[in-house]
Homo-oligomer: A and B are copies of this chain.
């Protein structure tokens, strides 16, 4: 509290993050975000010109930590590329068991704002997934696998599919199944040259 004071802006974004992720973007009012941040709405509108801008800030804040978490899971896992890839899914399955888990913030935002394809928040989501895919491609390329870009894309699809399905049915076993599929695909990928 005393040492790690957050700026007002950061407190607002944190409040927005909690509420938007927990309840959904359209389900949460600007008033609710302001109240949670311990700030008046007027102050919120001093830092953000609109709710849309706040939504974008919410996703932007999640981008880096998210990527870092996946990288860590990958790095800390034992075994080869296939095992490490599968380990990412296993960690995700564990995360999905937490009651506060609500799937992937980027995917859910895209679903909620499906009628606004050019929304800044969606662009952030697109960039995030692209970064993700590129990172996987780099991992696979480093291991000398053939067609790392295609493989990375397929793994990302499995990952996002698991996110979507588990959000629907709340059964983390689907994360494991997706991880097994990724394992199979990576294992089956021929080493190049």
As for how many copies of this chain the complex holds, the number is: 2
Q: Which residues of B contact A126 (CB under 8 A)?
A: 168-169
Q: A162-B161, A174-B153 are in contact. Are A168 and B24 (CB under 8 A)?
A: no
The bracket for how many chain A residues form the interface is 35 or more
Within 8 A of B (CB), among A108-166: 108, 110-115, 117, 122, 125-126, 129-130, 150, 153-154, 156-165
Q: Do most interface residues of chain A lie in helix, strand or loop, or is the interface mixed?
A: helix
B165 touches A157 (CB 8 A): yes
Q: Which residues of B contact A22 (CB under 8 A)?
A: 115
* Most chain B CB neighbours (cut-off 10 Å) among A27, A110, A164, A167: A164
Query: How many angstroms from the CA of A26 to the CA of B23 in the assembled complex?
Result: 12
Query: How many angstroms from the CA of A27 to the CA of B24 in the assembled complex?
Result: 12
Query: How many angstroms from the CA of A167 to the CA of B163 in the assembled complex?
Result: 14
Of B122, B150, B161, B184, the contact of A157 (CB 8 Å cutoff)? B161
Residues of A participating in the B interface, judged by any CB pair closer than 8 Å: 22-24, 26-27, 102-103, 106-108, 110-115, 117, 122, 125-126, 129-130, 150, 153-154, 156-165, 167-170, 174, 177-178, 180-181, 184-185, 188
Question: 13 new A-B pairs (CB below 8 Å) besides A181-B185, A184-B185?
Answer: A24-B113, A108-B111, A110-B164, A110-B167, A126-B168, A126-B169, A129-B169, A150-B180, A153-B177, A156-B165, A157-B165, A160-B164, A164-B164
